[in-house]
Amino acid sequence: MTAAVFDFAPLLPAGLPAAAAKWTGLAKYSFVGGNNDPDQVPLEGLIDAVNAVLKREGRTLATYGLASGPQGYLPLRQFLTAKLKADAGIACTADEILIVSGSLQALDLVNATLLARGDTVIIERDSYQGSINRLTRLGVNIVGIPLDHEGMRMDALAEALADLKSRGITPKYIYTIPTVQNPTGTIMPVARRTELLRLAEQYGVPIFEDDCYADLIWDGQRPPAIHAMSKTGNVIHIGSFSKSIAPALRVGYIVAGWGVMSRMLSLKTDAGSGALEQMVLAEYCAPHFSTHVPKLTRGLRAKLETLMEALNEQFGTSAEFEDPKGGIFLWVKLPDQVDTLKLYQAALAAGVSINPGPEWSVDKAYAGSRLRLCFASPTHEEIREGIALLAEVCHREFGVPERSANIEKRGRA
Amino acid sequence: MTAAVFDFAPLLPAGLPAAAAKWTGLAKYSFVGGNNDPDQVPLEGLIDAVNAVLKREGRTLATYGLASGPQGYLPLRQFLTAKLKADAGIACTADEILIVSGSLQALDLVNATLLARGDTVIIERDSYQGSINRLTRLGVNIVGIPLDHEGMRMDALAEALADLKSRGITPKYIYTIPTVQNPTGTIMPVARRTELLRLAEQYGVPIFEDDCYADLIWDGQRPPAIHAMSKTGNVIHIGSFSKSIAPALRVGYIVAGWGVMSRMLSLKTDAGSGALEQMVLAEYCAPHFSTHVPKLTRGLRAKLETLMEALNEQFGTSAEFEDPKGGIFLWVKLPDQVDTLKLYQAALAAGVSINPGPEWSVDKAYAGSRLRLCFASPTHEEIREGIALLAEVCHREFGVPERSANIEKRGRA
């Protein structure tokens, strides 16, 4: 006799997200997710680092937080103070840095510290899916600001702030990805950062600066972080090692003044983020980060060029995009008749995964014929084959491109 | 001219926990936290493991979740299926295991999946501080069940369930630490586990089994997990590598059927737990776990004996405790006039940290003269010195022990 299986469904509270589907592996041609280039993981350096650091101080793993306390491994925070000064112009101490389990935990901690249901936040109209989804789940009102080739538009931001003020609403923060914006790839120039700070101060709204792609700029030149330009400590800055070293490590960080840091720290009830990964990163990055990253970005730039060539060849003028100055993704506009949510389904069935635009924007109509393509993880060959297959599927489903360049090319061969 | 510092305080939502204090390091004599014995970290084995696994498959770090999907590194889940079968009698597949960032994340995921403000849960009266604090913050009504030397008392549980039912309340779960209970150190025998399951089924309440200390039993013999004894899948089981290998690694796991697992998985929005640590644990544990643990527990048992001797010597009959069958902590009763919350403050000022009983119990009065002492991390010498110092402070503050054995001994020297 088999007993009936206990049913948890009646116990679930209202408002849970849908149940997860069983994982079925990555698509053959995967243009989604922040995955990086396997060949660019600095494996030998990481192995040397892990041996050195474990031999020297591995027994500290017996203590939660090692000997560094709840803000994370001190040598990693010390590396970050030097890196942030050199790369982003941020002058901060190790006490103003909190190591977290990837920048996703940073999003959760900032949100838990500042947001309640019914609050209002300002974000870029097209933005990181994980940020949009979190805000939606928290029941927060999202005001999306359009972007141009220099990032968030300040005229639109000024208008939104004035409009909110006229309705008695002070937004909890202005969230921006100013340096290699996700998904548009734009970099906000210094003048616009200055204007953003001016508006933020005028309206008494803090800025939440997500800089997790900022290391990946082709020419290595980035504007100072908005955090670095603030004179009032009104910027919470977050970053990550996922894009510069390896995403599976799950190590990110928050830079903030103690006033708000102390509130985030009291919400970080996980007894610390993974210590071994913090130790390896500190040991590896201190001597090698500044030489590793340019090598990584050269490889990424080459893959981007393959992607743009493949799009031009397969989609012709149907695919519109700007050549981004860095990053791991390309934001593509297809003709209006293409519904990228439907394209996503059809392409997935054919073995190609893409990010449909509406999942990366608060304006679902605007983004309806747009898509995000990540290019770091697939090989050059997979990029070419995957985009050819995507064009075939798109032609079949939407008549776009008008005639698949792929088919034409095969006809000529 | 210095600009005024931006004040985040007006933006904070209601109900946040108090701001964290700046970390000032561990006490000289630290009897708190789940820290382990530094000399027992299997460092050489871990170094061998990390080298082997990184050389073999380190490039998978470029992909979120490695090649294993969101439930965690497959070889680690495969090790756990074998370990849980051998040690706890649990028959489960790798698909029923979710790797998490320490069992604290397991608590958060189970709670987020099942609990809403105003719900009722049943827990052991004296229980893990982290569990109690989470439930308090979630606004959940906690019903505490007293324990005896065999763990949660089933007569009291039956009474509580009947009482709740008479008031129309179905608790969301019965939370238990059945194997080396925290803080009492008791192990629930098989007969009582059977009775717990019978009551749970009678009242339609699932069981939340926290087994994170269950590896640390002096004689290596443990009863089957409650999860293993259930015929209906009504038990969510969680465990950890923090106590058996090293706490700073932050790797735990949840065992549950897909019905509830799929809901927890959709709430785990952290893009996976740290991959390097999962890889190292899988590589190390598969060949070495079963020989490492008995060695570890012999060392812990020796430290416990030092602690019990020191308490007997310093406190005499004033300190009452049961000799636990495993674990890393001792639950001590002092005379009623001792307020362990006050003792905690005075002892900390003298360089000794303890866990005051009220933080480890839902019955603050019952636990008011009790304390928890963790013995894995300090050396034998630190245990002796720290307990002598604690006795001095306790004598000074409360006249208990009546005359400090330490002072007497020094007088005789």
| Cross-chain Cβ contact B66/A248 below 8 Å | yes
> What's the CA gap between A275 and A271, in Å, rounded?
10
> What's the CA gap between A200 and A196, in Å, rounded?
6
Instruction: Measure CA B319 to chain center.
Output: 23
Name the pLDDT band for B64 (thresholds 50, 70, 90).
confident
pLDDT of residue A67: 79
List, for residues B86-100, the tens digit of each pLDDT value.
Answer: 999 999 999 999 999
Q: What is the mean pLDDT of residues A380-396?
A: 98
Instruction: Measure CA A259 to chain center.
Output: 26
In the predicted structure, residue A408 carries a pLDDT above the cut 80: no
A327 and A251 belong to one structural domain: no
Domain assignment present for residue B368? The answer is yes
- The amino acid that residue A54 corresponds to is L
Return the CATH number at B320: 3.90.1150.10
Residues A261, A254 contacting (CB under 8 angstroms): yes
Looking at the complex, report in whole angstroms how far the Cα of residue A373 sits from the nearest Cα belonging to chain B: 16
In the Cβ-directed half-sphere of A272, how many Cα atoms lie within 13 Å?
30
CA nearest B134 in A: which residue? A269
In the predicted structure, residue A136 carries a pLDDT above the cut 80: yes
- DSSP for B323-347 reads --SBSSEEEEE--TT--HHHHHHHH
Hey, how many other C-beta atoms are within 10 angstroms of the C-beta on B229? 17
B240 and B319 belong to one structural domain: no
A262 and A209 belong to one structural domain: yes
| Cross-chain Cβ contact A272/B11 below 8 Å | no
A50 and A171 belong to one structural domain: yes
Q: Which spans in B63-153 are helix H?
A: 74-88, 102-114, 129-137
| Cross-chain Cβ contact A46/B54 below 8 Å | yes
A308 and A273 belong to one structural domain: no
Q: Which 158-187 residues of chain B touch chain A by CB within 8 A?
A: 172
B62 touches chain A (CB under 8 A): yes
Portion of chain A with pLDDT greater than 90, in percent: 94
B173 and B78 belong to one structural domain: yes
A118 touches chain B (CB under 8 A): no
A332 and A400 belong to one structural domain: yes
List, for residues A198-238, the tens digit of each pLDDT value.
Answer: 999 999 999 999 999 999 999 999 999 999 999 999 999 99
Among B248, B267, B288, the domain boundary falls at B288
Domain assignment present for residue B6? The answer is no
Mutation target to probe the B interface, by most B beta carbons within 10 A, among A98, A276, A379 is A276
CA nearest A376 in B: which residue? B62
> What's the CA gap between A235 and A257, in Å, rounded?
9
> What's the CA gap between A209 and A174, in Å, rounded?
8
A1 touches chain B (CB under 8 A): no
> How high does pLDDT run on average in chain A?
95
Domain assignment present for residue B20? The answer is no
Q: B180 or B408, which is more confident?
A: B180
> What's the CA gap between A407 and B80, in Å, rounded?
50
List, for residues A305-318, the tens digit of each pLDDT value.
Answer: 999 999 999 999 99
Its sign, for the CA torsion B271, B276, B282, B285, is negative
| Cross-chain Cβ contact B12/A114 below 8 Å | yes
A60 and A34 belong to one structural domain: no
- DSSP for B254-292 reads EE--HHHHHHHHHH--SSSS-HHHHHHHHHHHHHHHHHH
Q: Is 0.80 surpassed by the pTM of this model?
A: yes
Portion of chain B with pLDDT greater than 90, in percent: 94
Among A257, A288, A319, the domain boundary falls at A288
B257 touches chain A (CB under 8 A): yes
ipTM over 0.85: yes
A413 touches chain B (CB under 8 A): no
> What's the CA gap between A65 and A70, in Å, rounded?
6
B329 is in which domain, residue-wise?
26-41+291-412
Give B115's contacts in chain A (Cβ within 8 Å). 13
Among B288, B315, B343, the domain boundary falls at B288
Its sign, for the CA torsion B169, B174, B175, B176, is positive
Q: Which 67-106 residues of chain A touch chain B by CB within 8 A?
A: 69-71, 95, 101-102, 104-105
Name the pLDDT band for B107 (thresholds 50, 70, 90).
very high
Looking at the complex, report in whole angstroms how far the Cα of residue B413 sits from the nearest Cα belonging to chain A: 36
Return the CATH number at B281: 3.40.640.10
Looking at the complex, report in whole angstroms how far the Cα of residue A41 sits from the nearest Cα belonging to chain B: 6
Domain assignment present for residue A6? The answer is no
Domain assignment present for residue B19? The answer is no
List, for residues A312-349, the tens digit of each pLDDT value.
Answer: 999 999 999 999 999 999 999 999 999 999 999 999 99
Its sign, for the CA torsion B107, B108, B112, B118, is positive
DSSP state of B310: H
pLDDT of residue B412: 39
A247 and A336 belong to one structural domain: no
Maximum distance among all alpha carbons in chain A?
74
CB-neighbour burial class of residue B219 (10 A; exposed 0-12, middle 13-18, buried 19+): exposed
The secondary structure of chain A, three-state, reads CCCCCCCCHHHCCCCCCCCCCCCCCCCCEECCCCCCCHHHCCHHHHHHHHHHHHHHHHHHHHCCCCCCCCCCCHHHHHHHHHHHHHHHCCCCCHHHEEEECCHHHHHHHHHHHHCCCCCEEEEECECCHHHHHHHHHCCCEEEEECEECCEECHHHHHHHHHHHHHCCCCCCCEEECCECCCCCCCECCHHHHHHHHHHHHHHCCCEEEECCCCCCECCCCCCCCHHHHCCCCCEEEEEECCCCCCHHHCCEEEECCHHHHHHHHHHCCCCCCCHHHHHHHHHHHHHHHHHHHHHHHHHHHHHHHHHHHHHHHHHHHHCECCCCCECCEEEEECCCCCCHHHHHHHHHHCCEECEEHHHHECCCCCCCCEEEEECCCCCHHHHHHHHHHHHHHHHHHHCCCCCCHHHHHHHHC
B35 touches chain A (CB under 8 A): yes
Domain assignment present for residue A118? The answer is yes
B392 touches chain A (CB under 8 A): no
Name the pLDDT band for B404 (thresholds 50, 70, 90).
very low
B387 and B309 belong to one structural domain: yes
In the predicted structure, residue A411 carries a pLDDT above the cut 50: no
Name the pLDDT band for B65 (thresholds 50, 70, 90).
confident
Q: How many domains does chain B have?
A: 2
B52 touches chain A (CB under 8 A): no
| Cross-chain Cβ contact B13/A116 below 8 Å | yes
pLDDT of residue A3: 67
B357 and B257 belong to one structural domain: no
How many Cβ contacts (< 8 angstroms) between chains A and B?
284
Residues A236, A255 contacting (CB under 8 angstroms): yes
B35 and B98 belong to one structural domain: no
Domain assignment present for residue B17? The answer is no
Domain assignment present for residue A163? The answer is yes
- The amino acid that residue A193 corresponds to is R
Nearest to B256, CA basis, from B226, B285, B283: B226
